[in-house]
Amino acid sequence: FGLIVPQRARTCAPLLNAILSASARHFTTLPKGRQKETTVKFSLEQDLIISEEAVLNYHNRCIAHLRFLANEPDAIMDENLLAAVVVLRFYEELDSTWN
């Protein structure tokens, strides 16, 4: 999951948005000290702030895409979409502990 899913996200918009929403939510749940450590470790902007709006934007884009694909009979067999749903479930777990 950790190796293949990120590669598949390069060509699957719903999967990419699911990963970005879960990543953004996870980052916002970290204490400020851990956020700073993470930005240093990965050479990100030192004063990186991920807004609630950004988190919800990625989540909403993923959900909208999945709703659009719900009418396609072959979508239920798409492994990329299944992975997106799994990541969104993880997002929900993070989101419920954050609120």
What tens digit of pLDDT does each residue of 44-75 get? Answer: 888 888 989 999 999 999 999 999 998 888 88
Query: Do the Cβ atoms of 18 and 87 come closer than 8 Å?
Result: yes
Query: Do the Cβ atoms of 87 and 19 come closer than 8 Å?
Result: yes
Query: Could you report the per-residue pLDDT of 8-46, keeping only the tens digit for each?
Result: 999 999 999 999 999 999 999 899 899 999 999 999 888
pLDDT of 98 reads 59
As a whole number, mean pLDDT of residues 94-98 equals: 75
Separation of alpha carbons 45 and 74, rounded Å: 41
pLDDT of 14 reads 96
